[in-house]
Amino acid sequence: MADTDIYNDLNDQQIAAVQCSLGNKLILAGAGSGKTRVLTCRVAELINKYDIRPSNILALTFTNKASNEMKQRLEKLLRISSQGLWFGTFHGICRRLLKIHWKEAGINEHFTILDSQDQLRIIKRIIKAKNLDENLYDPKALQSFINTQKDKGKRFNNINNDDDKYRDIYKEYDEACRQTNSVDFADLILLTYEMLKANMKILEYYNKRFKNIMVDEFQDTNTLQFNLLKLLNGTDGSLYAVGDDDQSIYGWRGARSKNIKFFEDEFNNVEIFKLEQNYRSTNEILSVANNLISYNKERLGKNLWTNSAKGNPVYLYEAYNGDDESNFIVEKIQEHISSGGKRSDIALLYRSNFLSRRLEEELNSRSIPYRIFGGFRFFERAEVKDVIAYLRITVNTSDDSAFERTVNNPPRGLGEKTIQVIRNYAKENELSMWDTINQIHKTNITSTRALNALNNYISIINELIINVKNLDLKNLIEKTISLSTLTKYYESKKNEESLSKQENLEELLSTAERFYQNNIDSEDVLSEFLDNAALEAGEFQSKTHEDPVQLMTIHSAKGLEFPIVFLTGMDEGIFPNENRNLNKDFLEEERRLCYVAITRAMQTLYITHANMRYMHGNNNFLIPSRFIGEIDDDLLEPIKSNNTRSFKSSKKNNMGDQKLDDEYSQETHPDHFSQEDNSVYIKIGQRVRHLKFGNGVILSYTGKGDSLKIHINFESYGKKWLVMSYAQLDFNI
């Protein structure tokens, strides 16, 4: 193949990145800039121009899909077999090295790889053997702790932790892995790093063999992966790192976004190339993306552009509430379908999983097929099913499946042995498992811990049975969540997954309230709600051949593209998320996440926010996300709600002039409130200043006199409840 064939359809920036000399190169590849093609062409360039054998090139990716795509493209480009290529994921390549050098790594030749569930089972076994309380030493939290330490390159003997038991469990976990001849995913990389560092001859061999190392998605590397690359590259290697600092969105799982900035410091004679021409999106969409990401200070800087013709404007929809938002979105979807468009052209993106609920409801009501990409429908999510199971056992104590799901959820110290005793006794005596534990004295369960746990469970269910008669649907579910301690359990985890679960439980309350209002005349709202939940959970997701609309979190959308994108829930407190620590680093990552969402759109982008949402058990007044405020007005085309109760608000004034419609004001909040002692007037949307928290906007308030509490969204500190009599607020701003 002629060399010139390699450069067909490459732009000038891409050609420069492909034809560059050997040495350490950093390729800043913007969204939709053709980085996979550049990587593939660079490999071809090394083989054709520098006469480097394919087996002497190491290419590292983060997914098997990316690795296979590169192999296939290279086979097509050079008409060579991919056999013998060292192309693969970090974990795959490290496994390959450990299979060759198992002895030097101190492991058995025929080691097995533990998956996440295998890892969790070992940790649970250790916790049980130590007679530790799983509520205090949560297996998943310990699993995360161990993996995080390994990702940092740390064994149990060189970490600092306030709780010595964490270190002890880590130590015993490692010993258990060695005894069973097993390694986990994090260990694949750590063992490889340790083996190479301890064996200079082996390291020198690979330094010479892999003079050319290529890395895709470099911004997603963690500390250990970065250090492994330094080790493999040596002092005179050629590391070709392709990444986008503006798309670094995985800090919560160990990725270190600053690795791109460290590249120049840690590697010799680095040359930087930028790929800024975008082949995906319209200029209108790219202008919004560039405008937003410019607010991030910790970036190397690039500006996406395109040669494509003028496209649709980027639309900004201001919804009255969450219902109005979902109605608008689905109406636009119907317009697209009616004009002959495909449903799968459309993606609905959201920051948090709970936001899918109203969208799902609206899509279902209009019989539009949809698919949750990389996740579950709302009523299929484990935490939602947990609450539903509590309600099921409450209304039908003979429901053994609901019993088994709830009796030790969250963990109460009941082991599988105790559950099996209950199961066997129930079967032998033709009883439900609930009836069995109410005859516990007749079984052979003697453990004090188990008996106490079962008695606690009995008291919870009995109290719920009483409350079924006294509480409406929403309050009953709220009571169920409280008595079961599910929220408390998730709060203790303090990780991304548990926060998402808490949000879904709060959304379940909103769903229950909505269902109650729509079925207020029903004789048995609870039964109908449970039946509805079962039906929705039982419906399988639409398949690809059914041409479904795509719903997904923004994290799940990374690497994908769609002709039409709806970026939903763009409200302050939701995006950026108020449940996270709003420090500078987090806000910059949230802004990068928003940038990723925007750049998924190819032709049309809608950004939507709501002035009010039912959350946390109440109607909450919201202001547009600060990210909307950062986008220049002339880059967005506003669309106002047709709802007659819509607020009169400006994107830029952060609700400063917003007023409620008269009907709502009279029902919930007066237009203003005069405090008895100081005659200060309080209005929803009013701007205030606090000595510590700075400027903010009043969202709501409750109580009166000395008990008056005000809910304020502060620009720098997020949402806070303050007692009026102590807050010392300045209203004259």
Q: Which residues are known catalytic residues?
A: 35-36, 216-217, 247, 600
CA distance 438 to 559: 54
Angle, helices 496-518/356-365, rounded to nearest 10 degrees: 40
CA distances for 417 relative to 119, 134, 247, 414, 508, angstroms: 21, 17, 48, 8, 33
The pair of three-digit structure tokens given for residue 227, joined into one six-digit string: 């250090």
Which among 313, 296, 317, 292 is positioned nearest to 630, based on CA atoms? 292
**Count of Cβ atoms closer than 10 Å to residue 66 Cβ:** 21
Please give the Cα distance from 437 to 445 (Å, whole number): 10
Q: Cα(184)–Cα(178) distance, rounded to whole angstroms?
A: 11
Separation between Cα atoms, residue 495 and residue 139, nearest integer Å = 13
Contact 484, 393 (CB under 8 A): no
Kindly give the interhelix angle for 116-129 and 164-179, rounded to the nearest 10 degrees: 120
* Opening angle at CA 369, ends 517 and 598, nearest 5: 90
Determine contact, residues 658/647, Cβ cutoff 8 Å.
yes
Look at residue 694 and give its three-state secondary structure: strand
- The CA distance from 491 to 502, in Å, is 8
The one-character DSSP state at 370 is E
- Give the 3-state DSSP-derived string for 359-386, with helices as H, strands as E and coil as C: HHHHHHHCCCCEEECCCCCHHHCHHHHH
Distance CA 370, CA 347 (A): 10
Which pair of tokens denotes residue 602?
A: 């190819």
Helix axes 322-338, 356-365, angle to 10 degrees: 50
